[in-house]
Amino acid sequence: MDSFRNRFNIFLIIVSIIIALVGVQLIRFQLIQHVASQRDVPELLKVEPVARGRIYDRNGYLLSGDEAHFELAYDRNGANYERFIQELAPTLGIPPADILALKAQPAILHQQLIKDLPYDLGNLAREKDIWGFTAHPYWKRAYPESSLAAHVLGFVNDDRLGLYGIEGWYNDVLTPTRQADGTFAPGADVVLTIDRNAQAITEEELALALRETGAESGSIIVMNPRNGEILAMASAPSYDPARYAEMAVEKENAFVNPNVSDIYEPGSIFKILTVAAALDSGTVTRDTVYNDTASIEVGGQLIWNWDRGGYGPLDMTGLLAKSRNVGASILAMRVGQQEFYRYLRAFGLGRPTGIDLQHEAAGLLITRDKNPDRWSEAILASNSFGQAIATTPLQMVTSIGAVANDGVLVQPHVVKKIMRGDRVDEAKIVALGHPISRETARTLSDMLAEAVVREVPEALVEGYTIAGKTGTAQIPIPGGYDDPWTIASFIAYAPAHDPQVIVLVKLDRPTSSMWGSETAVPAFQRLATRLFPVLGVRPDSQLTMSNEY
């Protein structure tokens, strides 16, 4: 019996040894096969899921797309440290001492050694095939134009999630989708309305304007008022989407697009809408004259002109040219609060424009019917010249764009088309309403063009009629306004009688001058002079408006 037990135990030992050897060989075979598969399968096919969709400008320039990068990992068990030190460490810039130190670390499979290895170096590491060191390919979002249009594009985080801008709004469109067979289809490509060259010029001129005026920040929007296409949208300071993690540490809310997310009191550029309501409602004509005094009392509050002076008799063009607060207040009261706010709502104020960008703000519109405890006649008077009301820069471009577009309000958008293989989905023009008549719009355009010639000829661009309005807005703070700081702006479209672009220049807290006419206007003129030829904006035959008016 004992001899049988001994022979049985020996048999079990032999079987165990055989099973262990087979297991080791199986594991070794699987590892070898894994390395072989890594070596034999084309590189891009090993990256799962497949690439995220690309983002192009309107002319086909790549603004955002995926690049294959590598993560270099190691396994302490059996790693060939000596060969790695000899063949790869010098190329990768890793000190030999750092590699030798890995031996002292706990045995963790696939411990990360280098996170973001460029494709050529990662591919070299893969080809060397050094035991214990594995190069894992993955997609990384790249932005070939660096910070260009950063607030429009947004970024993709380490979890492959699009955040802010186009990357955020169209994340589901850009993200690869799983098919019925378990494979992934690449994300759709997106073509923007943005013109890369126009965007670059706009950002250059905005940066120059900030340097010259000492403004702490600023924004510029360039839009086609006929179809709502955003041709350029810039904000400064900006950021590099490829370095979003660093910026997140440096500055809170760095990624929010001020053009769509930040609200402000727009100031005197708002008078365009007040005059539009007065003209369209039949309250006044362009030739109506009022007596411009230095101030007027409304609802127990004294409303002053910006210069604390009065001009006496002024027609409606004079009101715009001289930018009279008193005149705007008189118009709003004559139109009446109910009708006045009906026009403002028709122009899209108090609600988002619906642009295809994340985090759009609705603005702030205080009305008697919605806010009876807060509203007063003084609010109505202040609203008429852009105070006690808050909008985004985009809302101002969109609403005044309706004046340029014969009275039709068009929804702004930044995506021109989406391409999924052979399928192309083109963006459609979306009309949001018709706040004023074609006749009113054209009359007001004539008045704005004349006002520019009279008061801000510095805005004129040779060969083009410019319809526009300056703005110098106070900055509200709890309990009042943050004197003496202002937001200086200029909004204009051209040519005045066939508008192809509308441009808003907004400069926050300039130090060289508080006035839009002295800060935003020169910035506009330089920008427009460079921008119009690039965008193919057709000039008209008028070099000056003096003959027509």
| Catalytic positions, written as ranges | 268
Apex 298 CA angle, 447 and 282, nearest 5: 35
Q: Quote the crossing angle between the two packed helices 196-213 and 516-535, to the nearest 10°.
A: 160
Terminal C-alpha separation, the chain: 126
Report the alpha-carbon distance of residue 173 to residue 54 in Å, rounded.
10
Report the alpha-carbon distance of residue 346 to residue 58 in Å, rounded.
30
Question: In terms of C-beta density within 10 A (0-12 exposed, 13-18 middle, 19 or more buried), how is residue 306 classed?
Answer: middle
Report the alpha-carbon distance of residue 380 to residue 373 in Å, rounded.
14
CA torsion angle for 6, 12, 13, 19 (degrees, to 10)?
A: 170
Helix H or strand E segment including 501:
strand 501-508
Judge whether 23 and 34 are in contact, CB under 8 Å.
no
Helix H or strand E segment including 295:
strand 295-298
Apex 464 CA angle, 407 and 488, nearest 5: 70
DSSP 166-219: HHHHTHHHHS-EE-TTS-EEPPPEEEES--HHHHHHHHHHHHHHHHHH--SEEE
Judge whether 356 and 169 are in contact, CB under 8 Å.
yes
User: Percentage helix, strand, coil, to 5, in the chain?
Assistant: 40, 25, 35
Report the alpha-carbon distance of residue 330 to residue 197 in Å, rounded.
44
CB atoms under 10 Å from CB of 51, counted, come to 17
DSSP 128-147: HT-TTEEEEEEEEEE-TTTT
Report the alpha-carbon distance of residue 274 to residue 326 in Å, rounded.
12
Report the alpha-carbon distance of residue 265 to residue 299 in Å, rounded.
21
E strand residue ranges, 75-120: 111-117
Report the alpha-carbon distance of residue 9 to residue 6 in Å, rounded.
5
